[in-house]
A and B are shown apart, each in its own frame.
Chain A
């Protein structure tokens, strides 16, 4: 079975590349190939300037991997987990202990560091998992769905931590099925579906592909719709859509649009119940590009084999 068909990714050093797609899209397969866990049947990949297939053992010194499985040993303490990972990276003597202490402090696990991981909450495990990936200060970090299954507060905390690493110059490849996560963290986003990259760009560029901004007006009376459309005609960048008393008017310019629209509708004597600007979300992008919603499908499968 072919998990990946046409995947072409690149990320400049010190940036975050988001790999966005539903479960089963091939995100985890891509991460596994780039972290030397799986051999690719074809194609080439370089990470931190190192060829993934030819120099796998060299590459393993330069990368950190954290992911949806929170791969920490439940029967060790947080400190022992980090110390073990430092020893397995072959850090110089004394360094594994020093790094473990430092990372526990930085990830707000100082007090929990001496406790067995099986007593940790889900959010604490993820933080420890991320800390483990950072033990050897890798220049490239792979985060495979780092916040899947976390509560909203832990998610935001983890996002802030990731942003901190990036600010210090780490390059990150992030896979996610959450559109808001890619929107917040990623400089560039590759949308992946059925093993192929179907779109690529910054969050703004992807949003522009689905038609940019729209003015959404809810009228007091559906009967005034024709008059409202006529009044707003010169603001439209494309024909407006109408759904009962709600008008959706694509516009070219965001600035001043609401004020201009309110003035025109007042002049035409059309009553307004609500008016707002709508920016397309990555949900809209995904729906437009693939014909199906991103997260609905993700819930249906849920075998974690992304």
Chain B
């Protein structure tokens, strides 16, 4: 990245933060919604799902954190679809700024909002009984891995935003794609309880691999290849969708 690409990205990231500060209803998505999920899963499903070796809350928190990261980028999808509709993308593309800056500014601000969500969820989790079962450094590394995974999905959402006809369409398209991926995974239930086909899918699903990596780092499950696998998936997803989204952006005009 050149110097101007970085400064352009920061200018646009600042713009996104100002938007959140001025329309704080968006903040509910990063704070109240994750709290709601933690409480619902812990108390509604928690008693019914056996998770050998861990309490359900310890099993749940890594899964629900990864799910929240995957959905964190929806702000990017909606924001980009909105900028397209309003003609702001036309303006930005007519300016002598870096081609990657609009998307990079969006995904960068997602890292901060995802950080807010992680903090809120861990605090609520600890209040209702979650406890780390691993060294401090592992926990720090786990949080960084969560942010990396969220960043990768921000690029998926950037691409969705650029291909959708409206912010509403972007949101529901993102939901349709990501919801099944998060549920057919090891996030909320042990995959051994699923039918064979789903179980196969759940085991190879990048969500499961990332959830298992976070469990290794937070609650001391055996890591196996999951940490490297999760890093590889995140970098791969970010790269592929980053390239796709920037290529799409270069041709995007008001629809």
- A-side residues, CB < 8 A to B, are 32, 35-38, 57, 60-61, 63-65, 67-76, 80, 84-85, 87-90, 116, 132, 304
Contacts and interface: CB of A to CB of B under 8 A. Distances in A.
Closest 8 CB pairs of A and B: A69-B87, A71-B87, A60-B96, A71-B91, A75-B19, A65-B94, A88-B97, A61-B96
Scoring B15, B19, B96, B97 by chain A CB atoms within 10 A of each residue's CB, the highest score goes to B96
B94 A35 contact: yes
Interface string B233-255: 00000000000000000010110
A38 B22 contact: no
17 contacts: A37-B90, A38-B253, A57-B96, A67-B90, A69-B90, A71-B86, A72-B88, A73-B15, A76-B18, A87-B8, A88-B11, A88-B92, A88-B96, A88-B97, A90-B97, A132-B91, A304-B254
B93 interface: yes
Contact of B87 (A64, A70, A75): A70
A36 B95 contact: no
A64 B251 CA distance: 19
B33 to A, nearest CB: 21
Interface string B1-19: 0001001100100010011
A37 B94 contact: yes
Nearest to A29: B253
B176 interface: no
Given A60-B94, A116-B22, 14 more contacts: A37-B90, A61-B96, A67-B90, A75-B18, A75-B19, A75-B22, A75-B23, A85-B91, A87-B11, A88-B92, A89-B96, A90-B4, A90-B7, A132-B91
Contacts of B91: 65, 71, 85, 132
Interface residues of B, number: 24
B87 A88 contact: no
B11 A84 contact: yes
Nearest to A58: B96
A33 to B, nearest CB: 11
Interface in B84-140: 86-88, 90-97, 101
Contacts of B90: 32, 37, 65, 67, 69, 71
Given A76-B15, A84-B11, A71 B88 contact: yes
Contacts of A75: 18-19, 22-23
A63 B90 CA distance: 13
A72 B90 CA distance: 11
A85 B95 CA distance: 8
Contact of B93 (A36, A73, A74, A85): A36
Chain A CB within 10 Å, residue with most, of B15, B22, B94, B101: B94
Contacts of A84: 11, 15
Given A32-B253, A116-B22, A89 B87 contact: no
A196 B87 CA distance: 25
A279 B112 CA distance: 64
